[in-house]
Chain A
Amino acid sequence: MDHTVFSGILFCVSFLVTFLTTPLLARMNKRLGVVGTDVHKMDKPRIPEMCGLAVTIGLISSAIIATVALQVEARPIVAFVLCISIAAAVGIADDLGPLSSRVKPALTTLAAVPIVLLGTYSPYMAIPFLGTTRLTIIYPILVIVAIAVLANAINMMNPFNGAMSGTCSVLSLAMIVYLLLLGRSTEMILPSALLGSLLAFHWYNKYPAKAFSGNAGDLSVGAAIGALVVMGRIEVPMLIAMIPHITNAFYLLSSVGGLRERREMPHRPTRLLEDGRIQATEDGKAPITLSRLILAEGALRESEIVNIMIAMTIASSLLGLLTLLLMRP
């Protein structure tokens, strides 16, 4: 069977599994008291946390079907499943008992270990103006750094309802398009499953959210994107597509002077107005974030901010596409 058909099947499987699992997880977590406050709403509702695990469950289900029913090569699938499971485990540990701002990124590097140990990467990296270069020694180190950085960058870009699921859906679609253009249909299977899972989760996570992704979901999705970028050999175009996420992380870290958790920042970049809109603060000590830059021109509703974030990710994905076309011989 054609790999494009496989991709379609896995898109549907992961969509359905995530769509059915999210409300179950939400109910279970609410019962267990695993809830977070939606701080950008006037009535401060308590929303079930860690529901992003439904995306991980959707991806693992698709991976099992890919290897068992569709006979796709097992090694990359096993590496991928281990990678997202380790990232999800780190996220669960952070959601249940907060990890320190240094321990969390350090533990996230473990998610890259299966990719490196199972050798599901190619040390030949395409770089603009240089062509394909062989990075035998440096590449495995880059894989570990890249997966940890991307997982945490995705985690930092989730301050509003639907921000993570919306922007990461765009990134998954961009990955599929890049791989399609490069003629790498085998590598398209897992990004298609990721897109299916994220779209299903977005249904519950979009404004007004009925389920929060939590660190478990954010780190797992970030690690999944990192692993798929490495396995699909689309490093540079995806680096460009992720400019909003990477710059947000860079602005945040450099303005607070290093790794800090949200709870460790007394000065907030935004505040909620009485009419329900969100405004950028003028506090010189508050961190610079993408949402603060978006709100610098005036207050907006939460859904409008997320729409701008999604539009920015679409724009950067198009620049990634342009970079890919410029890199082709």
Chain B
Amino acid sequence: MTLMSSRLGSLIALIFFVWLSIVFGLFIVVRVIFEISLPWQSTLTPTIVGVLRVVLSAVVGVTWLLAWWKLANVYLWRKLRRHD
């Protein structure tokens, strides 16, 4: 029972990490990246800002996925080795 609880606790911690990364990632995208502006004004400025926002938001998205992937790998192999 204790073993099951500790196993469930670790897995819920993984879910909590994913949730936190989604919420924090959204915060970065909405409050930081969407607020980006350039100090100079030209006809190209709105396009550059738009592209910059999309690219940086995509970087945040890819970082989430890489972090989830890395965490799952580390969790799986560490637990498997320990169980051996």
A and B: real partners? yes
Residues of A within 8 A of B (CB): 127-130, 239-240, 243-244, 247, 250-251, 254, 280, 282, 288, 292-294, 296-298, 304, 308, 311-312, 315-316, 319, 323, 326
B12-70 residues with Cβ-Cβ distance < 8 A to A are 12, 14-16, 18-19, 22-23, 26-27, 30-31, 34, 65, 68-69
Q: Is the CB of A244 within 8 A of B15?
A: yes
* Additional A-B contacts beyond A128-B30, A297-B79, A304-B4 (4; CB < 8 A): A127-B30, A130-B26, A251-B68, A297-B3
A311 and B19 form a contact (CB under 8 A) = no
8 Å CB contact of B76 from A130, A250, A292: A292
- A294: which B residues are within 8 A, CB to CB? 7, 11
Against A, the Cβ 8 Å flags (1 = close, 0 = not) of B69-84 are: 1001101100110111
Which chain B positions have C-beta within 8 A of A250? 65, 68-69
Q: Which residues of the partner chain A approach B83 to less than 8 Å between Cβ atoms? A: 296-298
CB atoms of B12 and A315 under 8 A apart? yes
On whether the beta carbons of A247 and B3 are closer than 8 Å, the reply is no
Interface residues on B, range: 20 to 34
Report yes or no: B11 in contact with A254, Cβ–Cβ below 8 A.
Answer: no
Q: Is B11 touching A293 in the complex (CB atoms < 8 A)?
A: yes
Asked whether A247 and B18 contact (CB < 8 A) given A129-B31, A280-B80, the answer is yes
Are A243 and B11 within 8 A (Cβ)?
A: no
Q: Which residue on chain B has the smallest CB distance to residue A315?
A: B12
10 example contacts (A-B, Cβ-Cβ < 8 A) are as follows: A128-B23, A130-B30, A243-B19, A247-B18, A250-B65, A251-B72, A293-B11, A297-B79, A297-B83, A308-B8
Indicate which residue in A239, A288, A298, A308 contacts B11 across the interface (CB closer than 8 Å): A308
A296 with B75, Cβ < 8 A, contacts A127-B26, A130-B30, A319-B16 known: yes
Q: Which of B19, B26, B68, B84 contacts A129 (CB 8 A)?
A: B26
